[in-house]
Amino acid sequence: MSEPSYRVWAMPGLPEVRPGDDLAKLIAATEPGLVDGDVLLVTSKIVSKAEGRIVEASDREAAIDAETVRVVARRGVLRIVENRLGLVMAAAGVDASNTPAGTVLLLPLDPDASARAIRVGLRDALGVDVGIVITDTAGRPWRTGLTDVAIGAAGVQVLDDLRGGTDAHGNPLSATVVATADELAAAGDLVKGKTGGLPVAVVRGLPHLVTEAPAGARSMVRSAADDMFRTGTSEAVREAVTLRRTVREFTDEPVDPGTVRRAVAAAVTAPAPHHTTPWRFVLLESAESRTRLLDAMRDAWIADLRGDGFSEESIAKRVRRGDVLRKAPYLVVPCLVTDGSHTYRDDRRNAAEREMFVVAAGAGVQNFLVALAGERLGSAWVSSTMFCREVVREALDLPPDWDPMGAVAVGHAAAPPRERAGRNEGDFIAVR
């Protein structure tokens, strides 16, 4: 009995594919020598080109938006999304490589239907019964590197369900479903490569995988009910909280304003008294606005220090140490507004009322800092604007009822923060 084996090779001779081309006829014209039971692995890019899925798009992000059903994860400009096919992948599968400048390639509208058309076309042209797998490149959670996966299939057993059987030792198999089509796609990628101009590969020696089963690659998409990692989890939140560390040295890399706005969106979900919205975030995105504010604050601080009797040498040292805000490429000034607060007859209750709003502002800023950390941005919340609120209002042209609650320096950390001494939560808990 011969040992199980198969061969895989890239198919040469395929011309540049253009919109309207019949892929089955192009493949048949190369005289590929196909036999019954072969499996063809076809790169989705040429399917998209043949089907005219080339669109004018000077803004790739807009094309990604149009193909996105759900954002699964985001870090900076990178988005992992669910696209219209139910596939979870980077950039919704929108590809700007190997296509004319100013255009992008979208994935086929129905890759399973595309695979069926190629299979029927090859049967008509060459009289062979072959399987077709349409492939695309994807990353994987918990694993570094890319591989090809099946996004469309016809005439191929896409999943091999071994549940209910036993292994070589007689142990029952209760969870083993082999992603056969993905394994074929990855095997083809080894010979097609990413830059070799060989978009089709052939696997020979696995005829048992060629079948008339109706299931295509769409059946490999995990359902929402079975997806344990579909939404954010408490573990993800805890990771972001752990990452939230004060950063005082930043690189020159600019900060994406959209990232900061997403962090503000997280900030304003904080609890607040009386159904109010006591937060305002002033985003200092221009160097001119940052310099104007920081110069005015520095002058006010120096005047205060002189009034407190500090020497000029001591004042200079303190000002240098307080330069963390100048080193950041982006500043945010969170402000407190007390619209909706209650007024009472005694000062004790009025003081408590204001404290409620201050606590809400702090909760909003904490949300903001955690959200920045989740985006891998460093931050430092510095209290200095609270000591010169009138100066800040004038420098930033703020309404008189906006109380600055410090300033947040935002940027990419120049180095990992130093390890923080562990804290025992029991030291901060009283149980009654």
181 with 274, same domain?
Answer: no
Burial class (CB in 10 A: 0-12, 13-18, 19+), 131: buried
> Taking Cα atoms as reference points, which of 282, 317, 321, 315 lies closest to residue 299?
315
Q: Please report the pLDDT score of residue 114 as a whole number.
A: 97
Q: 102-106, 180-184, 266-270, 390-394 — which is least confidently predicted?
A: 102-106
Q: pLDDT-based confidence at 239, cuts 50/70/90? A: low
| Amino acid code (one letter) for 82 | E
Q: Which of 165, 191, 226 is the last residue of a domain?
A: 226
**Cβ-based neighbours of 284, under 8 Å, separated by 6 or more:** 290, 293, 330, 331, 332, 333, 396
User: For position 217, which CATH number holds?
Assistant: 3.30.1330.100
Q: For residue 336, tell me if it sits in a domain.
A: yes
Give me 421's structure tokens.
């001494």
Q: How many domains does the chain have?
A: 2
Q: Which of 226, 257, 275 is the last residue of a domain?
A: 226
Share of the chain above pLDDT 90, in %: 66
Instruction: Match 């904490």 to its residue by tokens.
Output: 366
Contact between 116 and 40 (Cβ < 8 Å): no
209 with 244, same domain?
Answer: no
Whether the per-residue pLDDT at 214 is higher than 80: the answer is no
Q: What's the sign of the alpha-carbon dihedral 251, 256, 257, 260?
A: negative
Highest mean pLDDT (candidates 86-100, 136-150, 169-183): 136-150
Our measurement of the distance from residue 351's CA atom to the centroid of its chain's CA atoms, rounded to an integer in Å, reads 43
115 with 248, same domain?
Answer: no
* Alpha carbon distance 213, 217 (integer Å): 12
User: For position 284, which CATH number holds?
Assistant: 3.40.109.10
Q: Mean of the pLDDT values across residues 349-371?
A: 94
Whether the per-residue pLDDT at 170 is higher than 90: the answer is no
Q: pLDDT-based confidence at 242, cuts 50/70/90? A: low
Q: For residue 206, tell me if it sits in a domain.
A: yes
Q: For residue 352, tell me if it sits in a domain.
A: yes
Q: For residue 347, tell me if it sits in a domain.
A: yes
Contact between 325 and 347 (Cβ < 8 Å): no
Q: 137-151, 223-237, 269-283, 289-303 — which is least confidently predicted?
A: 223-237
Residue 285: domain span: 234-428
340 with 211, same domain?
Answer: no
Alpha-carbon Rg of the chain, whole angstroms? 30
β-pair type (403-404, 330-336): antiparallel
> Taking Cα atoms as reference points, which of 183, 115, 201 lies closest to residue 147?
183
Average pLDDT, the chain: 90
Whether the per-residue pLDDT at 234 is higher than 50: the answer is no
291 with 343, same domain?
Answer: yes
Residue 203, strand partner residues: 8, 39
* Alpha carbon distance 135, 294 (integer Å): 54
Q: Mean of the pLDDT values across residues 144-168?
A: 88
* Alpha carbon distance 207, 177 (integer Å): 19
138 with 159, same domain?
Answer: yes
Q: pLDDT of 302-341, one tens digit each?
A: 898 899 999 999 888 888 776 788 989 999 999 999 999 9
146 with 190, same domain?
Answer: yes
Q: Which of 226, 257, 276 is the last residue of a domain?
A: 226
Instruction: Match 């609270």 to its residue by tokens.
Output: 386
Q: pLDDT-based confidence at 194, cuts 50/70/90? A: confident
Q: Mean of the pLDDT values across residues 143-151?
A: 94
Q: For residue 86, tell me if it sits in a domain.
A: no
